[in-house]
């Protein structure tokens, strides 16, 4: 009961924040995390050196920026409650209207794939603004902390999308997709072996989740890489050209590999373009093939 009251208070408070307060308070939280989480700070610097080939000074500077962007992302998860036409006109830019209109007018099932990059929590709200008539589901791996799980579910439900636990994706997603709906996934690079295919990501083999690929194949869906990036006080939406799973040949294993390579490479390309906005705090590459 107290959890629900506190969550409602947070939701009410979130209606008063804007993109500038997210930037300001996010920087404070990011710098606080940078100074408090010594072990994570060291791991992040090492990971950046290893996967981007930077020296220590460069990696430390980039790692600090990443912590700040992570702090911003925490606040931006609340900001999505305030999305309206004025917010979109004032703050959101995109060069991909052709792809957005293609998705909007398509009757095909759509699987959206993205990564922990930039204000990723905003992506679903942005897509719903452009695609209001698409029946939308988002796949979530809930944290073990029950309060955080409730808060995440409440925040994402506020965006008029159905929240689906990652263990229920076949049962929940396929009926909606087969009716031309849309499902959104975060690409994971440290998942269980039985749920993964091992592929190179930023120069090291990673356990990439195959869930989006399997669902897309069963639904005969188009797979759309989508990303959100901060550009100063603006937010840029990217919606890239899709992969049509109906055009793939070979065995099921062959098709899964092609699809997972497609969305892994899409994420990698964006990380290399905006490395400071990647969520480096997460321990990727932990699961090994053997």
Residue 261: the pLDDT is 98
What are the domain boundaries of the chain? 83-277
The answer to whether the pTM exceeds 0.75 is yes
Q: Closest by alpha carbon to 250, among 240, 261, 263?
A: 261
d(CA 128, CA 207): 30
Residue whose entry in the numeric block shows the structure tokens 């600090």: 64
Residue 145: the pLDDT is 65
Residue 192: the pLDDT is 84
Residue 98: pLDDT above 60? yes
* β-pair partners for 29: none
Residue 244: the pLDDT is 98
For 87, the enclosing helix (H) or strand (E) is helix 85-91
Mean pLDDT score, 90-105 = 95
Q: Which two tokens stand for residue 175?
A: 């009926």
Q: Which of 107-121, 183-197, 233-247 has the lowest mean pLDDT?
A: 183-197
Residue 102: the pLDDT is 97
Residue 155: pLDDT above 90? no
Residue 132: pLDDT above 80? yes
Residue 85: the pLDDT is 83
Rounded to 10 degrees, the C-alpha dihedral 113/118/120/122 comes to: -130
d(CA 282, CA 23): 21
Q: Which of 107-111, 157-161, 177-181 has the lowest mean pLDDT?
A: 157-161
Mean pLDDT score, 23-29 = 90
Q: Which of 12-26, 42-56, 140-154 has the lowest mean pLDDT?
A: 140-154
Label residue 172 left, alpha or beta by phi (over 0 means left) and psi (-120 to 50 means alpha).
alpha
Mean pLDDT score, 161-178 = 78
Residue 14: the pLDDT is 64
Q: Closest by alpha carbon to 112, among 101, 102, 104, 124?
A: 124
Q: Closest by alpha carbon to 111, among 238, 263, 251, 279?
A: 263
């Amino acid at each position: 009961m107290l959890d629900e009251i506190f969550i409602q208070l947070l939701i009410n408070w979130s209606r008063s924040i804007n993109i500038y307060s997210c930037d300001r308070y996010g920087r404070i939280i990011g710098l606080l995390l940078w100074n408090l989480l010594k072990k994570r700070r060291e791991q992040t610097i090492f990971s950046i050196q290893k996967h981007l080939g930077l020296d220590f000074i460069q990696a430390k500077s980039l790692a600090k920026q990443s912590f700040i962007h992570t702090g911003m992302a925490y606040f931006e998860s609340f900001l999505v409650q305030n999305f309206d036409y004025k917010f979109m006109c004032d703050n959101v830019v995109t060069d991909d209207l052709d792809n957005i209109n293609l998705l909007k007018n398509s009757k095909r099932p759509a699987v959206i794939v993205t990564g922990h990059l930039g204000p990723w929590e905003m992506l679903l709200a942005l897509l719903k603004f452009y695609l209001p008539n698409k029946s939308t589901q988002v796949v979530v791996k809930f944290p073990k902390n029950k309060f955080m799980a409730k808060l995440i579910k409440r925040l994402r439900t506020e965006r008029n999308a159905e929240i689906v636990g990652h263990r229920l994706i076949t049962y929940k997603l396929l009926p909606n997709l087969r009716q031309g709906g849309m499902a959104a996934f975060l690409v994971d690079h440290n998942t269980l072996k039985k749920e993964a295919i091992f592929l190179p990501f930023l120069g090291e083999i990673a356990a990439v989740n195959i869930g989006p690929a399997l669902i897309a194949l069963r639904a005969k869906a188009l797979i759309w890489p989508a990303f959100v990036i901060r550009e100063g006080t603006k937010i840029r939406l990217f919606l890239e050209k899709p992969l049509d799973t109906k055009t793939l040949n070979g065995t099921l294993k062959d098709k899964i590999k092609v699809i997972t390579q497609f969305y892994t490479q899409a994420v990698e390309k964006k990380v290399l373009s905006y490395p400071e906005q990647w969520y480096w705090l997460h321990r990727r590459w932990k699961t090994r093939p053997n």
